[in-house]
Every structure is written in C-alpha cells, then in structure tokens.
Amino acid sequence: MNTLPGGNFARLLQAMGTAAKEVEETLEHVLPKPHGLHGRIHEAMRYAIFAGGKRLRPFLVVQCAGLFDVNPVRALRAAAAIEVLHTYSLVHDDLPCMDDDDLRRGRPTAHKAFDEATAVLAGDALLTIAFEILAHPDTHPSADVRCRLVARLAEAAGSNGMIGGQMIDMRASQSAFGADEVILLQQLKTGQLFEFSCEAGAILGEAGTEHQTRLRDYAKDMGLVFQITDDLLDVTSTAEKTGKAVGKDKDQGKATLVSLHGVAGARSEAEKIANRAVAALSPYGSEANELRALPPFLLGRES
C-alpha cells in the first residue's frame, strides 16, 4: 500500500456526506410527489430511493465534474440520474425471481414493503426517469452534451452493460467460471455504472475523450476494488454490519475472485488494482485527492 496516499479518510468521508446530502435534495426535487390514483407508484419509487445508502455513484459524478469546473447543479442532476438508475437495478435484483432478497440497507426490500408488481413497476419507473432527468435542459444547456449522457448511460446500463452482467450472474452458480469470466461479470454488472459516473463528469465538462478515457480507466479499477471488497465482506462480515444478507455467494455456489484466489489472494489483487486506479489520476492536482483516497478507503471498508 506504500504507493497509495495516506489515510486522509476524514476529508473523504466529509465529501461523501456532502455529496449524499446534496444529491438527496436533488432527488427530492426531481422525483414526483405521490399524487393521483397512481400515487402508490411514486411512494414505492421514493421508498426505494430514500433508504440511505452510500451514494457512491453520485459522489463519483460530483468529484469528476469538479475536475472540470462543472456547475454543481448540473453535476447533481447527472448524479441523481445515475442514483435512480442504480436503485432500479437493486429493486429488480431483489425480486423473488432474481436474488430473492428480503433485506436491503437494513429495511424490507421494495417487493416486501409493497408487493412484487409494484416493485417491478417502481423499478421500471426509476429506470425511465433517469433518462428524463438527463434529457432535461437544466442538466446542461448543450443538447449535444445531454444526448451524449443519455446514449452513454443507456449503453452502460443496457444488455451489453449492467443488464448483461446480471444475465451472466444468473448463470454463474451453474457454471464453472474462471477469473476472466468473473472479472467480465463484475465489469459489466457493477463496473459499467461506475464508469458512467466518472465519464459523466468529463462529458458535462466537455473535457474531451482523453479525459473521458482516463476517468473510465480509474472507474474500471475502482469498481473492481469495490466488488472484490464486497465479495470479501460476503465471506468475512455479518448481516448486522452490512445491512443485507451475507454468505449468499457461497450458498449459491457462485464463483468470485475470493472463491478463486482465497481471502488473502483477493485482497492482494485488490490492493494492486487500487494502486493502478490512483495512478490513472496523475494529471490532476489536489482537486482529485478525494478520488485518490477512495480506492484505499474501499479496501478497508466494513460495510
């Protein structure tokens, strides 16, 4: 870990807290208030969204946008879009026909608090509003920028992105996956949204493809660190600490980098990747310090 910057996690946690608070204000503003005969759908959307959570993807959008002096209102709208999209994926993943989880962020999952049909529809509605938020002129005065955000998010979240990863994950317990397949699964299922979150900052800042590519590389590695530590927690932590069921990967016979390399091997791999993530940020100055602190912070997380 000696090439990683020292543990300035207090500032990181403060910045994450600020981003979380600000994106929640934006979410409060952009999500419909419950009204009409169909008010139950708005209630379910809000139940799923306002359940706490780290708001890691919004933090990435805000931090990466900050590298290019993007107007914070715009960054927060893009951050809100990625958070509603991420939340839809959780609501659908928790369904009985998918991962069948009763607990999420320490509370009943949406299909438990409401019902399955409402959870399917609330997920659909969150996915839909993500694009509505991005396409709105308040997100950026340039329609070209807004279209690029829409197209890139659709690609990252679609059948060759996050949904493709979820499809592979559904088969993972039946298949003898090696490290390459496990990494592909993770880069699709969780990595693609991290990539979009970071790229969105460069797109909003009209910073050019070199910056977009660099931040995508950072996000790819940061996402792998996130996923490996998630898999480590699944093996080493308790439901009390993580607020969700643990030990599920092993129960379902799913291959992860932890099951393939062991706890020590996976942790060592994660440290190597974390160093590479930080190195990708070399052209940026102190304004990238929080992004630099994130991978080592993730390595030490307990939930």
d(CA 4, CA 16): 19
**Which residue stretch of 6-14, 38-46, 243-251, 253-261 sits at the interface with a second copy (rule: CB under 8 A)?**
38-46
- The token pair that represents 86 in the structure block: 């991420």
**Which residue stretch of 152-160, 213-221, 237-245, 265-273 sits at the interface with a second copy (rule: CB under 8 A)?**
152-160
d(CA 138, CA 53): 26
CB 28 within 8 Å of CB 42:
no
**Which residue stretch of 1-9, 51-59, 146-154, 225-233 sits at the interface with a second copy (rule: CB under 8 A)?**
146-154
At 127 the three-state DSSP class reads: helix
Told to check if 42 binds a second copy by CB under 8 A, we report yes
Q: Nearer Cβ to a second copy, position 13 or 170?
A: 170
Told to check if 179 binds a second copy by CB under 8 A, we report no
CB 187 within 8 Å of CB 223:
yes
- The token pair that represents 278 in the structure block: 């930080």
d(CA 9, CA 294): 8
Told to check if 38 binds a second copy by CB under 8 A, we report yes
Count of other CB atoms within 10 angstroms of residue 41? 17
d(CA 220, CA 222): 6
In the bound complex, what is the minimum distance in angstroms from residue 187's beta carbon to a second copy?
Answer: 12
Footprint on residues 54-83 left by a second copy (CB under 8 A) = none
d(CA 78, CA 23): 9
Binding residue for a second copy (CB under 8 A) from 103, 113, 120, 235? 120
In the bound complex, what is the minimum distance in angstroms from residue 118's beta carbon to a second copy?
Answer: 7
Binding residue for a second copy (CB under 8 A) from 1, 13, 73, 143? 143
Told to check if 250 binds a second copy by CB under 8 A, we report no
- The token pair that represents 42 in the structure block: 């708005």
In the bound complex, what is the minimum distance in angstroms from residue 143's beta carbon to a second copy?
Answer: 4
Told to check if 188 binds a second copy by CB under 8 A, we report yes
In the bound complex, what is the minimum distance in angstroms from residue 155's beta carbon to a second copy?
Answer: 6
Told to check if 1 binds a second copy by CB under 8 A, we report no
Q: Which residue do the tokens 């399955």 mark?
A: 116
Among 188, 211, 195, 193, which residue's Cα sits nearest to residue 287? 211
Told to check if 103 binds a second copy by CB under 8 A, we report no
Q: Enumerate helices (H) and strands (E) in the chain, giving the number of each.
A: 15, 2
Contact residues for a second copy (CB under 8 A)? 32, 36-38, 40-42, 45, 88, 92, 95, 97-98, 115-118, 120-121, 123-125, 127-129, 131-132, 134-137, 142-144, 146-148, 150-151, 154-155, 157-160, 163-168, 170-171, 181, 184-185, 188
